[in-house]
Amino acid sequence: MTSNSPSEKRLEELREQAWKDGVVPGKGVDVAGGPIPRQPGYYSQPVVKPPVWTWEIPLYFFVGGLGGMSAVIASAALSFHHLNLARAALWLAAAGAFLSPILLIMDLGRPRLFINMLRVFKPQSAMSMGVWILVLFSTCAVPGLIALELLALHLFTGTMDQLLNIAAGILTFGSAFFGTLLATYTGVLIGATAIPAWFLHRVFLPIHFGTAGLGSAAALLELLGHRIAALNALGYYAAAVESALLIWLSIDKHGVADRAIHEHGSGWLIRIGEILTGPLALVLRLFGQVPFAAISFLVGALVSRFGWIAVGKVSGSDPESVFAAERL
């Protein structure tokens, strides 16, 4: 502090006065940057703990969403006798079923104890439900894919072929059932926490994650060469829903409580993601640029997942957001 600063001058005045009068009335010097906190909270320390999750988790949200919703496309394709598309979609589902546990285990603090996840079945824990959804999804998707591939090879005839057909159908529909939950539960997972920016959007998040999963699955299948009208229609549906969600997100503001989304840089990841999956994908599709629309959607869906985790870290570290959310 330099000697000509205002507080230093005030101190000089006080010393002068004390020397002359023997007493100093009035307030002394306000110590700027001193230990008295000027902001609500305890020295700006976080009230809740920000998430400890790293890149594996948002990537898992993307992979799991894509894989889960691929199974939905697979069963719809199977219902309408697009066997090749159903196979391709179930390959994506099985790839998701393979990659998701790897990513989840990599993120664990003690990966070797991952099996402890299967000790309990806990409906009140979204994480526990997610683990079981993933287990059941994998148990359906991988054998379902094997059955479909065997069916496509025409190895068997007669009763065996029929049995295989039935098994492939049941397993594909099973994987679609658990796939929809796999794509949407992740929104519940982060929506039911103490992080203000997350729990204030607990209705938004499952819609966004599920729809982004469906759009990503359709987009990736299109990029793999399955350019059919049904997938294009699904692309339109997902982009339209994401556009609506972008509008909802920009209207549904909660001030300080979710300022991490609207005022902090990491909120831009969410908005960029929403623009790529929503309006941009929609416009590109309207102009017939299907591959670009597909790429735009996939990139947007990935960026937005990273955005939501980044925003959670900012929001969880912000004590004022926690207080504001509790006053809402």
Partner 1 sequence: MIGEGIQSTNQRKHSYVNDHVEVGFFTDPSVCIGCKACEVACKEWNQVPDDGFNWSGNSYDNTGHLGASTWRHVMFLEQDRRKGNQITGPMGLPNPIPHSEIQNPQSDMSAVALAEAEDPFRWVFLSDVCKHCEEAGCLEACPTGSIVRTEVGSVLVQNDVCNGCGYCVVSCPFGVIDRRPEPLHDAGGAFKCTFCYDRQKSGLVPACAKVCPTESIVFGRLDDLRARGAERVQQLQQGGYSDAQLYDPTETSVRGIHAFFLILGEPEAYGLPPKPQVPTIYLKSAWISAFATAIASVIAALLAFAFFS
Shortest Å, Cβ 153 to partner 1: 24
Shortest Å, Cβ 183 to partner 1: 7
Contact in structure between 263 and 230 (CB atoms under 8 Å): no
Enter the tokens of residue 149: 């591939």
DSSP string across 14-34: HHHHHHHHS---S-----TTS
Shortest Å, Cβ 58 to partner 1: 14
* Residue 192 lies near partner 1 (rule: CB under 8 A): yes
Contact in structure between 242 and 218 (CB atoms under 8 Å): no
Shortest Å, Cβ 156 to partner 1: 27
Shortest Å, Cβ 322 to partner 1: 6
Shortest Å, Cβ 54 to partner 1: 10
Q: Token match 């299109």: residue?
A: 222
Q: How many residues bind partner 1 (CB under 8 A)?
A: 96
Euclidean distance between CA atoms 93 and 305, whole angstroms: 19
Shortest Å, Cβ 207 to partner 1: 5
Q: What residues numbered 64-83 form the site for partner 1, per CB under 8 A?
A: 69, 72-73, 75-77, 79-80, 82
C-alpha angle 15-20-24 in degrees, rounded to nearest 5? 55
Q: What residues numbered 222-241 form the site for partner 1, per CB under 8 A?
A: 228-234, 237
Q: Which region, judged by CB under 8 A, interacts with partner 1, from 127-135, 148-156, 264-272, 292-300? A: 127-135
Pick between residue 158 and residue 288 the one whose CB is nearest to partner 1. 288
Binding mask 298-317 for partner 1 (x = CB under 8 A): --------------x---x-
Contact in structure between 285 and 232 (CB atoms under 8 Å): yes
Binding mask 26-55 for partner 1 (x = CB under 8 A): xxx-----xxxx--xxxx-xxxxxxxxx--
Euclidean distance between CA atoms 47 and 50, whole angstroms: 9
Pick between residue 11 and residue 207 the one whose CB is nearest to partner 1. 207
Pick between residue 54 and residue 162 the one whose CB is nearest to partner 1. 54
Euclidean distance between CA atoms 296 and 199, whole angstroms: 28
Q: CB pairs under 8 A, 24+ apart, for 165-169?
A: 167/143, 168/78, 168/144, 169/78
Q: What residues numbered 194-213 form the site for partner 1, per CB under 8 A?
A: 194-195, 198-199, 202-207, 210-211, 213
Q: What residues numbered 92-111 form the site for partner 1, per CB under 8 A?
A: 107-111
Q: Which region, judged by CB under 8 A, interacts with partner 1, from 175-183, 251-259, 281-289, 300-308? A: 175-183
Euclidean distance between CA atoms 204 and 210, whole angstroms: 10
Euclidean distance between CA atoms 94 and 149, whole angstroms: 12
Q: What residues numbered 138-167 form the site for partner 1, per CB under 8 A?
A: none
Query: How close are the terminal C-alpha atoms of the chain, in Å?
Result: 41
Pick between residue 109 and residue 158 the one whose CB is nearest to partner 1. 109
Q: Token match 């393979």: residue?
A: 98
Shortest Å, Cβ 289 to partner 1: 18
Shortest Å, Cβ 285 to partner 1: 13
Q: What residues numbered 263-302 form the site for partner 1, per CB under 8 A?
A: none
Euclidean distance between CA atoms 57 and 188, whole angstroms: 14
Contact in structure between 207 and 268 (CB atoms under 8 Å): no
